[in-house]
């Protein structure tokens, strides 16, 4: 058990180190989400009246598509160098390797949220509070588990750029329903924040358990 | 083999004609909803048959992951295709039903939203099967996608239902239908389930033949072989 945790952290550290050395993904994702906000401004004609009602939707749209890019890249380098096969040849369990990849990808998405959330508050004038950050982080956990599972799956299939969103987005919808509700309340709408967050936690537990069970079938060959 | 399928198809068509006869001639007109209410019979039957198909995908997927049995995978493939067709029927008939009754083709209600998500998930499943090269690896990926899809739909359903709903609840178990309507509904449902089973059976046979065909022929039949000019 402790061995698996060590493997997971080692894989995550490897991914984060390689990102730190190349600095490819996080700057690109940061720029991507700011661009999404600019496009939303022109698409919705944002002003001080409507900003609070539109901002939650913009947040989730930007986050979901940034997430697809982040998780798609998580296995791209492994595929190009065929290094995933090398990792799977080691005695380390595929589930631990998967957990490490998912952890690293989640941290990269959180790095992108560090740009997105303040930019949203700054440009749209919406509140930035603990409730908002907590809801987004909770959604990130489950989205990372699902996103990485399907990214691992499509990495070895052709037309992967098309398939990843098609398979992942419908499964993310529960997180967007509950997370969307929580963020709307955190930005001042009426509703139950606690119920939405409890739901997010339930989904996190369910999908983290399910993806760990399924990871064996996706990675092991 | 083909003869059997032809006979079963003929029976299924006759049964559906019988159901149509009962829907339009035997069942009484609804007092409030008038003629559009007759959509209800096929709309609900198609939804139930679609769920049965996706249940078959789940069972086939779980068996495939446990035993790597190619027949379980073929069942999942066949049932997913028929399930998507039946979900399309459900959605289209539901929209036609909603327009005169609710005044709109679509509303973001729990049942409608989760059915649309269901359709998207299994349409994605079919695309995965179509775009990936056939083989045991893709069968395993698709099995995982099929299982996750089945888990996701009730979750979407329940998470949306806590906030908004318009769609009527179950009318069959709550005993809200007069006997003629109930009989018509049960007959339509049985006929639709039979039709779905025949369709899955025929598709299963096609998948078997595709699996047994030489790989080049299979790619040609599936239309996934790349043109030589494009490949270069």
Closest approach of B154 to chain A, Cα-based (Å): 10
For the entire predicted model, the pTM comes to 0.85
Question: Cα angle vertex A180, ends A170, B91, to 5°?
Answer: 40
Shortest CA distance to A149 belongs to which of A89, A88, A218? A218
User: B125 near B53, Cβ under 8 Å?
Assistant: no
What is the pLDDT at residue B222?
Answer: 58
Cβ distance B128 to A157 less than 8 Å, yes or no, reads yes
User: A54 near A151, Cβ under 8 Å?
Assistant: no
Task: For the beta carbon of residue A190, count every other beta carbon within 10 angstroms.
Answer: 6
Q: How far apart are CA B19 and CA B39, in angstroms?
A: 12
Shortest CA distance to B119 belongs to which of B83, B68, B74, B168? B83
A162-172 pLDDT, tens digit per residue, is: 889 989 999 99
A53-62 pLDDT, tens digit per residue, is: 888 999 999 9
What is the pLDDT at residue B226?
Answer: 47
CB contacts, 8 Å: A154 with chain B: 128
Residue with tokens 């939650």: A56
Is the pLDDT reported for residue B204 higher than 70?
yes
Q: Which residue has the higher pLDDT, A116 or B161?
A: A116
A33-54 pLDDT, tens digit per residue, is: 999 999 988 888 888 778 888 8
Percent of chain A exceeding pLDDT 70 equals 99
The ipTM value here is 0.85
Q: Which residue has the higher pLDDT, A83 or B208?
A: B208
Is the pLDDT reported for residue A25 higher than 70?
yes
User: A180 near A60, Cβ under 8 Å?
Assistant: yes
Is the pLDDT reported for residue A113 higher than 70?
yes
Cβ distance A177 to B151 less than 8 Å, yes or no, reads no
User: A138 near A179, Cβ under 8 Å?
Assistant: yes
What is the pLDDT at residue B230?
Answer: 44
| Closest chain A residue by Cα to residue B125 | A167
pLDDT, mean of residues A148-162: 84
Q: Helix or strand or coil: residue B104?
A: coil
Exposure on the CB side of residue A178, measured as CA atoms within 13 A: 29
CB contacts, 8 Å: B149 with chain A: 170-171
What is the pLDDT at residue B223?
Answer: 57
Closest approach of B114 to chain A, Cα-based (Å): 10
What is the pLDDT at residue B219?
Answer: 58
What is the pLDDT at residue A160?
Answer: 78
Chain B contact probe: residue of A143, A150, A174, A205 with most B CBs at under 10 A: A174
Taking the domains of chain A in order of start, what are their residue ranges? 2-219
Percent of chain A exceeding pLDDT 90 equals 36
Is the pLDDT reported for residue B38 higher than 50?
yes
Chain A contact probe: residue of B87, B109, B128 with most A CBs at under 10 A: B128
Among the listed ranges A21-35, A103-117, B157-171, which one has the minimum average pLDDT value? B157-171
Q: Encoding tokens for residue A61?
A: 């749209």
Instruction: Find the CB nearest A170 among B124, B141, B160.
Output: B124
pLDDT, mean of residues A55-81: 87
pLDDT, mean of residues B100-116: 85
pLDDT, mean of residues B137-157: 86
What is the pLDDT at residue B232?
Answer: 35
pLDDT, mean of residues B170-194: 79
Instruction: Find the CB nearest A163 among B121, B127, B151.
Output: B127
Task: For the beta carbon of residue B175, count every other beta carbon within 10 angstroms.
Answer: 7
CB contacts, 8 Å: A149 with chain B: 144
| Closest chain A residue by Cα to residue B113 | A173
Among the listed ranges A54-58, B6-10, B37-41, B125-129, which one has the minimum average pLDDT value? B37-41
Percent of chain B exceeding pLDDT 90 equals 31
Instruction: Find the CB nearest B141 among A146, A153, A159.
Output: A153
């Amino acid at each position: 058990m402790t061995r698996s945790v060590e493997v997971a952290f080692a894989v995550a550290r490897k991914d984060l180190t390689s990102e730190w050395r190349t600095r490819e993904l996080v700057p690109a994702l940061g720029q991507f989400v700011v661009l999404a906000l600019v496009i939303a401004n022109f698409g919705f004609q944002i002003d001080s009246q409507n900003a609070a009602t539109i901002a939650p939707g913009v947040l989730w749209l930007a986050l979901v598509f940034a997430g697809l890019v982040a998780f798609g890249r998580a296995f791209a380098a492994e595929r190009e160098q065929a290094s995933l096969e090398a990792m799977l040849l080691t005695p380390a369990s595929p589930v631990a390797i998967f957990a490490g990849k998912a952890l690293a990808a989640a941290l990269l998405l959180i790095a992108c949220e560090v740009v997105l959330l303040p930019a949203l508050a700054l440009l749209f004038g919406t509140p930035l509070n603990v409730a908002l950050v907590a809801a987004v982080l909770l959604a990130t956990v489950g989205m990372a588990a699902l996103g990485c599972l399907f990214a691992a799956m499509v990495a070895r299939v052709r037309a992967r750029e098309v398939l990843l969103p098609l398979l992942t987005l419908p499964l993310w919808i529960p997180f967007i329903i509950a997370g969307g509700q929580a963020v709307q309340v955190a930005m001042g709408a009426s509703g139950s924040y606690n119920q939405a967050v409890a739901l997010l936690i339930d989904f996190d537990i369910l999908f983290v358990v399910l993806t760990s069970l399924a990871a064996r079938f996706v990675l092991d060959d | 083999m083909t003869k059997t399928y032809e006979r079963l198809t003929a029976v299924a068509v006759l049964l559906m004609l019988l159901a149509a006869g009962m829907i339009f001639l035997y069942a009484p007109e609804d007092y409030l909803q008038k003629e559009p209410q007759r959509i209800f019979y096929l709309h609900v039957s198609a939804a139930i048959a679609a769920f049965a198909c996706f249940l078959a995908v789940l069972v086939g997927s779980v068996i495939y992951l446990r035993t790597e049995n190619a027949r379980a995978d073929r069942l999942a493939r066949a049932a997913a295709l028929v399930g998507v067709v039946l979900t399309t029927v459900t959605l289209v008939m539901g929209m036609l039903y909603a327009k005169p009754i609710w005044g709109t083709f679509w509303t973001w209600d729990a049942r409608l939203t989760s059915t649309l998500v269901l359709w998207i998930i299994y349409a994605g499943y079919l695309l995965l099967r179509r775009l990936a090269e056939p083989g045991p690896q893709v069968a395993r990926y698709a099995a995982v996608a099929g299982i996750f899809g089945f888990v996701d739909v009730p979750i979407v359903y329940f998470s949306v239902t806590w906030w908004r709903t318009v769609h009527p609840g179950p009318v069959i178990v709550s005993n809200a239908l007069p006997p003629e309507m109930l009989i018509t509904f049960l007959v339509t449902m049985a006929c639709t389930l039979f039709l779905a089973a025949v369709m899955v059976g025929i598709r299963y046979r096609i998948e078997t033949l595709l699996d047994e065909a030489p790989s080049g022929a299979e790619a040609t039949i599936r239309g996934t072989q790349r043109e030589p000019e494009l490949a270069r």
